[in-house]
């Protein structure tokens, strides 16, 4: 059997291969260089490891070469092919720009040219995605194997790092540097340093990550297959004996699944982590299971005209390399989080300001940096140990305070304090009242030791955290709406949920090929251009609805999805269902709606979501409709810690909303049992108890049943909730009954009255034998909200026939081409269904510019069997297929080609 041959290519489960029950990565230190010319990221990652308590010698079920996790068991692989080929060493010197000097990677600086030659490696059947160091065969199955999740990476070297060579150790940590303590004791004490010394710990980790390789730089033995990187040290039989600090030198691939190389809306090349189903394993070797919570720091080199945005707790100030071709950006986090939450974006973006300069507004693409650069004194990317030690206790933002910050085209200069927005809530006219009477100020953290904002008194009163917005030049004007909305949404989220888990927030308007409306990560949100309103004149607050609610959804993920995460990835509803439920509450608070207005808006949105869920469940496999597909085995892993994520690679799943919608309705059901206000107060209590931790459904539900004991007395038990909502496909009885109530809500009845008018108008045009043109009847149409307009178009989609005159009147009356993307999507469906050729331009525009929402519109164009519509689908696909998300492209090509 060939390695990984037991992984059926037809299955859609994602293997998590890391043996996290044996050894854990506690910290990642990345040193990366972004090469736009080759569309790769090269560099190294240093892993700080800690063996798990009780982990002994290589246990039965440990994953060795060619093994794979399948259906909860470990299946042994077979022999390896012996063919060998040589790949380009990633340590080679890259020409940053011809004739302008060269950029050296950290590996070359560290090891020198001779060591670079020793980093050459052999590969086995590269076409089969298998690679090994040349001495891997000399290791034994009795040796302990560190297994990391990894794919689409070219690994050139894995070595132990000699942390004892860091001269600053003895002065900074005298208690752990005696002759007999050794590097293992030092690393254990370093990992265990209290959060009160986090900055010192951070700097020591940085020093260790730059230390040379141990034992003269000899490489450890490694083997990479389709899904993992396996590392051994000959003669080491247990996790306790295994090296505590490893450096892995590698290079990504242009087609690697974790990052997207594409062009932004200004036609400039950019790269970003795309929220891929395989997460970050094609960006750096890591432990993917959520339980592998770690901190990280990253040094990223990018061309000097680019901006680097990343998950990081402080605004970075880039440093300039001596040749001025590259800038160096440094980010870090102190809250342990799963490696899947690491996020990176590098591109020619500009920061959105309250006023856009005329030069930028005209699309001038001159050089702009997000921060003033600082000269380096110790060579490219380096600071001396003395500089690092003297910097302990001072943050980057403190060091550069007072330096100018460029935020526009070079002529707009502000102080660094103003790079972030600190909006006055009173100026925005927002209420500063809080309805969290159920929660007191005393917070006792249950998570591991890290600098937690929930215990900081200043953080509790910080309703609006510092925030920035970035985007391509051509969208800066439109993106101002995001900058205006952010303070309101952040303040509303604080009112509903309490302390902001993260100290700052960047929002990036991502390229058109991004596969969803938004994605939240620590300290950064990716927002689709589809969330930006086209800008109907006079639309006012109504025109902000999609953008505002989407921002509230992504902000809600700071609490549910990030600071509280799912312990089992199959329970996506814990993240998406919660964020969908909370987005309505936070957006209503941001709009300052009354209780009655909030309830009416909520019922209308509930009916729209019910229709979407009902339609999706009719047209999807039952196995994809279950919120807890592992049922009673949820959260369980193999002895080594490895597991499979059910259906994670199913291409249809990427476009399904069941975890969002069914999860949302479960929460609405629970709120109906205890009361809306009491339920929100319970959310705050739950956040206080579980922040900084991973949870399963049962954690939320059990605490709820304890907090509200009347629920069980009414027969609502944990097993009943599982049976009705989580462990079976389909729609629960309560939801059927409740949808009938929502369909009679006032805002819905208003829509139905308008639909009747449009149907009557259409029928008046369908008479036969008229010899002269009739004057259009005068009809007064009621002004509707954007959500009502979505409902109106959905109801009209149920009509078998609408006249051309009616379609034209609809377009004119509601200015449909200038509405938000949700409205335009329904309009395009109506255009396709009724073959309204005059608006095919609207359909084409939607498919080109709203790719996150247009996937199934291609199918509707093809199924009509109209040659003109099919030609439109093929033309649009040919124009955007290179920039499309890979999953979306596969699905669309199956429909069209």
d(CA 816, CA 810): 8
Q: Are 225 and 145 in contact (CB under 8 A)?
A: no
Query: Which DSSP category does 882 fall into?
Result: T
Query: Which DSSP category does 175 fall into?
Result: G
58 φψ region: left (φ > 0), alpha (ψ -120 to 50), beta (else): beta
- For residue 521, give the H/E element and its range: strand 518-521
Query: Which DSSP category does 603 fall into?
Result: H
- For residue 182, give the H/E element and its range: helix 182-191
109 exposed, middle or buried (CB, 10 Å; 0-12, 13-18, 19+)? middle
Contacts of 770 (CB under 8 A, 6+ apart): none
Residue-wise DSSP of 217-248: GPBPEEEE-SSEEEEE-TT--STTTS-SEEEE
Contacts of 683 (CB under 8 A, 6+ apart): 496, 497, 582
Which of 109, 92, 89, 111 has the alpha carbon at shortest distance from 216?
Answer: 111
* Nearest-5° Cα angle at 286, 284 to 289: 140
HSE-up (13 A, CA, CB side) for residue 885: 28
Radius of gyration, alpha carbons of the chain: 28
Distances (CA, A) of 802 to 765, 795, 831: 9, 12, 10
Torsion 382-387-393-399 (CA) sign: negative
- For residue 828, give the H/E element and its range: helix 821-833
Query: Which DSSP category does 445 fall into?
Result: -
Which of 286, 143, 131 has the alpha carbon at shortest distance from 224?
Answer: 131
Distances (CA, A) of 38 to 43, 95, 253, 696: 14, 11, 9, 42
Residue-wise DSSP of 772-816: SPPPPPP--PPP--HHHHHHHHHHHTT-S---HHHHHHHHHHHTG
Q: Are 142 and 58 in contact (CB under 8 A)?
A: yes
Helices (H), 592-745: 595-618, 658-674, 676-690, 697-707, 710-713, 718-721, 733-742
HEC letters along 133-165: CCCHHHCCCCCCCEEEECCCEEEEEEEEECHHH
Residues in the chain, total: 897
d(CA 32, CA 251): 9
Torsion angles phi and psi, residue 301, rounded to 5: -100, 130
Distances (CA, A) of 430 to 433, 490, 553: 9, 11, 19
Among candidate residues 554, 754, 794, 822, the one labeled active-site is 554
Q: Is 597 a catalytic residue?
A: no
d(CA 90, CA 249): 8
Query: What are the structure tokens assigned to 465, written together?
Result: 């955290």
Distances (CA, A) of 211 to 52, 186, 208, 380: 25, 14, 5, 16
d(CA 495, CA 488): 11
Active site members = 554
């Amino acid at each position: 059997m060939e390695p990984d041959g037991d992984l059926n290519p037809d299955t859609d489960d994602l293997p998590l291969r890391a043996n996290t029950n044996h050894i854990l990565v506690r910290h990642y230190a990345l040193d990366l260089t972004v090469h736009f010319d080759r569309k790769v990221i090269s560099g190294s990652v240093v892993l700080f490891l800690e063996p798990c308590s009780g982990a002994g010698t290589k246990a039965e079920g440990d994953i060795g070469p060619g093994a794979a996790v399948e259906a909860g068991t470990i299946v042994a692989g077979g022999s390896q092919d012996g063919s060998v080929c040589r790949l380009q060493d990633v340590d080679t010197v890259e020409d940053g720009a011809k004739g302008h000097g060269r950029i050296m990677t950290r590996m070359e600086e560290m090891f020198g040219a001779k060591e670079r030659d020793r980093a050459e490696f052999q590969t086995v059947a590269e076409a089969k995605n298998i690679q090994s160091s040349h001495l891997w065969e000399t290791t034994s199955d009795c040796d302990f194997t560190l297994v990391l999740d990894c794919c689409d990476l070219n690994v050139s070297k894995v070595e132990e790092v000699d942390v004892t060579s860091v001269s600053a150790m003895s002065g900074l940590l005298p208690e752990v540097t005696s002759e007999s303590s050794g590097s293992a004791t030092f690393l254990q004490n370093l990992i265990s340093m209290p959060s009160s010394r986090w900055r010192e710990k951070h700097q020591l980790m940085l020093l260790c990550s730059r230390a040379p390789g141990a034992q003269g730089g000899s490489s450890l033995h490694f083997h990479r297959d389709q899904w993992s990187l396996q590392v051994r040290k000959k003669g080491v039989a247990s996790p306790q004996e295994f090296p505590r600090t490893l450096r892995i030198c590698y290079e990504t691939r242009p087609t690697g699944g974790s990052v997207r190389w594409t062009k932004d809306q200004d036609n400039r090349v950019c790269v970003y982590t795309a929220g891929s189903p395989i997460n970050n394993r094609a960006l750096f070797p890591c432990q993917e299971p959520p339980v592998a919570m770690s901190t990280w720091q990253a040094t990223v080199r990018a061309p000097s005209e680019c901006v680097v945005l990343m998950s990081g707790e402080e605004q970075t100030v880039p440093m300039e390399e001596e040749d001025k071709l590259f800038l160096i950006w440094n980010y870090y986090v102190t809250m342990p989080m799963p490696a899947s939450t690491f996020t990176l974006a590098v591109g020619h973006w500009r920061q959105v300001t309250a006023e856009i300069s005329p030069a930028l507004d005209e699309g001038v693409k001159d050089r702009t940096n997000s921060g003033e650069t600082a000269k380096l004194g110790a060579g490219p990317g380096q600071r001396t140990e003395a500089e690092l030690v003297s910097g302990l206790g001072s943050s980057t933002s403190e060091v550069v305070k007072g330096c100018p910050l460029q935020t526009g085209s070079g002529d707009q200069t502000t102080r660094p304090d103003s790079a972030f927005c600190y909006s006055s809530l009173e100026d925005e006219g927002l209420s500063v009242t809080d309805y969290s009477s159920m929660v007191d100020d005393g917070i006792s953290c249950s998570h591991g030791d890290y600098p937690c904002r929930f215990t900081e008194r200043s953080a509790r009163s910080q309703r609006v955290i510092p925030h920035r917005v970035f985007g391509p030049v051509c969208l800066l004007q439109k993106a101002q709406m995001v900058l205006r909305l952010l303070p309101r949404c952040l303040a509303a989220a604080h009112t509903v949920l309490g302390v902001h888990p993260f100290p700052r927030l960047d929002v990036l308007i991502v390229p058109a090929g991004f596969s969803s409306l938004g994605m939240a990560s620590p300290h950064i949100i990716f927002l689709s251009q589809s969330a930006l309103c086209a800008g109907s004149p006079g639309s006012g607050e109504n025109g902000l609805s999609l953008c505002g609610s989407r921002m509230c959804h992504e902000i809600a993920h700071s609490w549910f999805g990030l600071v509280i995460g799912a312990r089992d990835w199959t329970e996506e509803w814990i993240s998406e269902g919660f964020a969908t439920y909370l987005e309505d509450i936070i957006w209503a608070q941001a709009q300052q709606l009354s209780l009655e207005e909030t309830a009416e808006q909520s019922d209308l949105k509930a009916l729209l979501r019910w229709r979407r869920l009902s339609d999706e469940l009719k047209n999807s496999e039952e196995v994809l409709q279950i919120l807890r597909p592992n049922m009673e085995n949820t959260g369980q892993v193999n002895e080594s810690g490895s597991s499979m994520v059910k259906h994670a690679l199913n291409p249809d799943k990427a476009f399904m909303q069941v975890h969002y919608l069914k999860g949302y309705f479960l929460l609405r059901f629970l709120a109906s049992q205890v009361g809306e206000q009491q339920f929100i107060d319970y959310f705050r209590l739950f956040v206080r108890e579980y922040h900084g931790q991973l949870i399963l459904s049962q954690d939320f539900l059990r605490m709820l049943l304890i907090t509200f004991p009347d629920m069980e007395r009414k027969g609502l038990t944990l097993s009943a909730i599982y049976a009705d909502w989580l462990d079976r496909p389909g729609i629960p009885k309560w939801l059927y009954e409740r949808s009938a109530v929502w369909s009679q809500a006032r805002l819905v009845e208003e829509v139905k009255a308008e639909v009747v008018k449009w149907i009557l108008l259409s029928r008046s045009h369908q008479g036969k034998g008229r010899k002269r043109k009739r004057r259009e009847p005068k009809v007064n149409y009621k002004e509707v909200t954007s959500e009502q307009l979505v409902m109106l178009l959905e109801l009209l989609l149920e009509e078998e026939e609408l006249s051309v005159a009616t379609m034209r009147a609809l377009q004119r009356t509601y200015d449909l081409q200038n509405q938000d993307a949700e409205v335009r999507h329904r309009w395009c469906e109506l255009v396709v269904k009724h073959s309204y050729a005059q608006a095919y331009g609207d359909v084409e525009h939607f498919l080109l510019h709203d790719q996150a929402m247009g996937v199934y519109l291609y199918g509707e164009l093809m199924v009509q069997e109209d040659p003109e519509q099919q030609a439109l689908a093929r033309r649009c696909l040919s124009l955007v297929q290179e920039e499309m998300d890979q999953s979306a492209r596969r699905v669309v090509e199956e429909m069209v080609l």
